[in-house]
Amino acid sequence: MTPTDTAAKCPVRHGFDPLGDSYVADPYPIHTAVREEAPAFYAEAIDMWVITRYDDIEAVLKDPATFSAAVGQRPVFPMSEEAQRILKDGFRAYPVMSDCDPPRHTRIRKHNMTGFSPRRIAMLEPKVWAKATELVDAIEPGRVDLVSALTYPLPAYMIFTFIGFPDEDMDMLKSWCGNRIAFSWGRPSGDEQREIATNMTHYWEYCEKFVAQRAAEPADDFTSDLVRIHQADPDALSLADITNVAYGLSFAGHETTTSFTGNAIRQLLANPEQWAAICQDRSLIAKAIEELLRFDSSIPAWRRITTRAVDVGGVEIPAEAKVLILLGAANRDPNHFENPETFDIHRGDARRHLAFGKGIHYCIGAPLARMEARIALDLLAQRAPDMQMVEGQDFDFPPNVSFRGPRSLLVDWPE
Ligand code: HEM
């Protein structure tokens, strides 16, 4: 009997805990072990079924009728009563995109695609360059944390600008967004839950007012694009739908890209010959980004819930089971990538990664994320090809089931 046969018969893995220290520090050796051991298993620590292999994960993403997205944003662990009460009083969000199933998802996504038109994304490119240049110009020689100097503020500013939020509100908006990863994907304390729920309520109310203001006075931004669709046909998209989209995007478009760009810089500096190759020929950056997404994405795992009992690689997963799909394990599956544990910006097959998902929920912000990462790396390669990662620093990753990126990334910035 092979290990897989054994695991398929008894698919419980007691030790698998995405909030455990070793997983948080580096999930990939654990991904490899569980992928080799079984296509799917039950993880007691998180009360979820875990799916480990590329083909099965791709099949999950392509089967929204069996694998509902409804749990996508729900807290993994039960919310405190106080947080529930705070949200009940002032937070009126409902599923519209990543945690929404057809038919509502189909309707709302279709209109969002209009807002994410190549024209609007292209319009952002000079703004991304300008903001990234401003941030890099402000860096002084010496020791610098590239997360606070560049990879946190750049995506925050760009997604708020894309939505249309005024510049002067950005610091306030950022202060309300903190720690939302912990709320839905981690295990926050009671005090943290209270603070995050209060901030979510402030942020939600701000989004409601903002959308009402754009409905009265449309401008040239993504929210106004959606408002025009609403005004042409109120049944196509309601103002509440638009508020939900604005609310959700400011999170989806921020932490994901902050974390990815942080992972990307760290990975490149840890492989100096590949960083040097990029600095010599910046046209390599776009391809390198695909390898970075494959090798060290910011969303190494995502969630679904089954609508019926289903067989995954010989393992029976029951109906209404919460499921964790290990996108990071899929992206290193040797059945799909040659020498998958090797980071190589020149590899030809990297773009087949599942870092942005696949199917109806495929990341709508992928072009923007790629653009922001490309521009950040391009500027760093131009301005600081000799920067060095500070040796021996402790990388701190927020403990949670889905998102991964360093909280800080210290480098020595040259004169
Ligand atoms: C490197 C950065 C990013 C990564 C790794 C990433 C990853 C993902 C993944 C894996 C999904 C699919 C989830 C699923 O199948 O349920 C997704 C969906 C989504 N992403 Fe991203 N994302 C990134 C950046 C962005 C940005 C910049 C935005 C917004 C501008 C964004 C907005 C969204 C939205 C709205 C969805 C839901 C789409 C739907 O359900 O139809 N993402 N993302």
Measure 172 CA to ligand 1 centroid, in angstroms: 24
Q: Band of the pLDDT at 180, cuts 50, 70, 90?
A: confident
- Rounded average pLDDT over 279-294: 98
Q: What is the pLDDT of residue 188?
A: 93
List, in order, residues 6 or more apart from 378 with CB less than 8 Å away: 282, 285
Closest residue (by CA) to atom 41 of ligand 1?
361
For residue 152, pLDDT over 60 is answered with yes
Ligand 1, atom 37: nearest CA belongs to which residue?
A: 98
Dist. CA 249 → ligand 1 center (Å): 9
pLDDT at 11 over 80: no
The end-to-end CA distance of the chain, in Å, is: 61
Provide residues with CB under 6 Å of ligand 1: 61, 69, 72, 97-98, 109, 159, 249, 252-253, 256-257, 260, 297-299, 302, 355-357, 361, 363-365, 368-369
By most ligand atoms within 8 Å of CB, the mutation choice from 109, 223, 256 for ligand 1 is: 256
Asked if the structure places residue 243 within a domain, the reply is yes
In whole angstroms, give the CA distance from residue 400 to residue 180.
11
Q: Label residue 149 by pLDDT band (50, 70, 90).
A: very high
141 φψ region: left (φ > 0), alpha (ψ -120 to 50), beta (else): beta
Judge whether 5 lies within some domain: no
Q: Ligand 1 centre from 415 Cα, in Å? A: 37
Q: What is the pLDDT of residue 6?
A: 40
pLDDT of 114 higher than 80? yes
Using the predicted structure, report yes or no on whether residue 118 has a pLDDT greater than 80.
yes
pLDDT band at residue 14 using 50, 70 and 90 as cut-offs: low
DSSP-assigned letter for residue 414: -
pLDDT of residue 54: 98
Residue 2 pLDDT > 70, yes or no? no
Residue 363 lies in a domain: yes
Flag whether pLDDT at 111 surpasses 80. Answer: yes
For residue 50, list its beta bridge partners: 41, 324
What are 289's two structure tokens?
A: 């980004």
In a domain, 1, yes or no: no
**How confident is residue 176, by pLDDT bands cut at 50, 70 and 90?**
confident
Average pLDDT over residues 333-345: 97
Residue nearest to ligand 1 atom 11, measured at CA = 363
Task: Please give the distance, rounded to the nearest whole angstrom, from the Cα atom of residue 257 to the centre of ligand 1.
Answer: 10
Give the Å distance between the CA of 93 and the centre of ligand 1.
Answer: 18
Alpha carbon distance 398, 388 (integer Å): 24
Ligand 1, atom 39, residue with closest C-alpha: 361
* Ligand 1 centroid, distance to 13 Cα (angstroms): 29
Q: What's the confidence (pLDDT) of residue 3?
A: 39
Residues 6 or more apart whose Cβ sits within 8 Å of residue 331: 54, 293, 294, 295, 297, 337, 340, 353, 354, 355
Q: Does residue 13 form part of some domain?
A: no
In a domain, 8, yes or no: no
Burial pattern 299-329, b for ≥16 Cβ within 10 A else e, equals: bbbbbbbbbeebebbebebeeebbbbbbbbb
Spatial CB neighbours of 42, under 8 Å, sequence gap ≥ 6:
11, 12, 13, 48, 49, 50
Q: Is residue 136 part of a domain?
A: yes
Residue 340 neighbours by CB distance under 10 Å: 21
130, containing H or E segment: helix 118-137
pTM of the predicted protein model = 0.95
pLDDT (mean) for 222-238: 96
Q: What is the pLDDT of residue 106?
A: 97
Domain tally, the chain:
1
Distance, CA of 48 to CA of 412 (rounded, Å): 42
What is the arithmetic mean of pLDDT over 42-57? 96
Q: Quote the crossing angle between the two packed helices 81-90 and 190-216, to the nearest 10°.
A: 10
Is residue 14 situated within a structural domain? no
The mean of the pLDDT values for the chain is 94
Longest dimension (CA), the chain: 68
What average pLDDT score do residues 6-17 get?
A: 64
If one residue of 363, 371, 402 were mutated to test the ligand 1 pocket, choosing by the most ligand atoms within 8 A of its CB, it would be 363
CB within 8 Å of 7: residues ≥ 6 apart: 37, 38, 41, 315
* pLDDT tens by residue, 161-170: 999 999 899 8
Q: Exposed/middle/buried for 119, CB within 10 Å: 0-12, 13-18, 19+?
A: exposed
Indicate which CATH number applies to the domain containing 305.
1.10.630.10
Q: What range does the domain containing 162 cover?
A: 21-413
For helices 239-252 and 104-115, give the axis angle rounded to 10 degrees: 70
- Dump pLDDT digits (tens) for 63-104: 999 999 999 999 999 899 999 999 998 899 999 999 999 999
**How far away, in angstroms, is 273 Cα from ligand 1 center?**
31
DSSP designation for 305: E
Instruction: From 98, 105, 222, give the residue whose CB has the most ligand 1 atoms within 8 Å, as the site to mutate.
Output: 98
DSSP state of 29: H
User: Among the atoms of ligand 1, which is closest to the Cα of residue 368?
Assistant: 27
pLDDT of residue 8: 47
What was the pLDDT predicted at 75?
Answer: 93
Provide the pLDDT for residue 411.
Answer: 98
> Which of 356, 375, 401 gets mutated to test ligand 1 (max ligand atoms within 8 A of its CB)?
356
Which has the closest alpha carbon to 8: 50, 30, 31, 39?
Answer: 39
Strand partners, 338: none
Tell me the pLDDT band of 12, cut-offs 50, 70 and 90.
low
**Which pLDDT value is given to residue 120?**
86
Q: Note whether 304 and 68 are within 8 A (CB).
A: yes
Q: Is the per-residue pLDDT at 51 higher than 60?
A: yes
